[in-house]
Amino acid sequence: MKKAFLFPGQGSQKVGMVHDLYEKYDSVKKLIHEADDTLGFSISKMMFEGPDTDLMKTEFTQPAILTASVAVWKVLKEQGIEPDIAAGHSLGEYSALVAAGAMSFADAVNTVHLRGRFMQEAVPLGEGGMAAVIGLKPERIVEVCKEVSEETCPVQAVNFNCPGQVVIAGAAKAVEKACKALKEAGARRAIMLKVSAPFHSTLMEPAASKLKEVLDHIDIHDTFIPVVANVNAKEEMKADEIRKNLVEQAAHPVLWEESIRNMIEGGVDYTVEAGPGTVLSGFMRKIDRSIPCHHAEDLATLEEVVKALKGE
């Protein structure tokens, strides 16, 4: 069996995540205290108590989800369950890289906190937007976005998640105009998302430049298992390429469906979504239902994964 761990991105956060793991496992308690100490504020309080309005702020969401995801990975590792390959959706790529030995947890949690801040600073609140487009071919979505961009402001396809779902992002008025044009082009739905910035669009280039300065000053190592990069859907293990890919990722599309298909082609026959929520499990079912995908986020779901993989 070739196992892939998949790590979730922004939008999977929820108040109370991994609290039961924190209470049971000393390793999780130590990890979350490390996050608090590294960040200089209590991310654990936001994770466990909220309020939701704080947890939804990008600069807090990103370190919170990373901390929760790495906590789940740590517990699975203690149970003898480790991935042969890993991938993470957007922010989740940092969780995957921690699991693969590319960077320390402390460096990762600090970097994604700054990443979230840089992304929010790049486009003032209300000036950027994102929308999920359902039921239209990716090629047509790209074409429509290009037409709208030429007429108004930048908008582009940024998350190629699974068959039938692509997310677009850009200037708010351009995204709204693109939604209308995409429905006219045959999309079943085009739904504006409640997000604070147009992630992975070209409008994030100022954030990518600032992120590069941070990444240039932290230790990144070759990995001991491959991590599939969002920007090119290819397996990567070399530190220099990882650093470059993370900078590019901030202002380039996430090729998630292609990443999953490439892993399956490479022999992956079992996946575990490690972290809060079941978004990636949902994508997985739409990409290839024949590949089992368990999710692990709390004591109950972790126990199910351990039983499934150990045949207990």
The residues assigned a catalytic role are: 90, 200
Helix (H/G/I), strand (E/B), else coil: 183 = helix
Q: Are 129 and 171 in contact (CB under 8 A)?
A: yes
Cα 258 from chain centroid? 15
Q: Are 36 and 311 in contact (CB under 8 A)?
A: no
| β-pair type (155-162, 165-171) | antiparallel
Residue in 182, 240, 241, 197 with CA at minimum distance from that of residue 91? 197
C-alpha dihedral sign at 43, 48, 51, 57? positive
d(CA 298, CA 278): 12
Residue in 90, 38, 44, 39 with CA at minimum distance from that of residue 64? 44
Residue spans of beta strands (DSSP E) within 149-292 = 155-162, 165-171, 189-192, 227-228, 235-236, 270-274
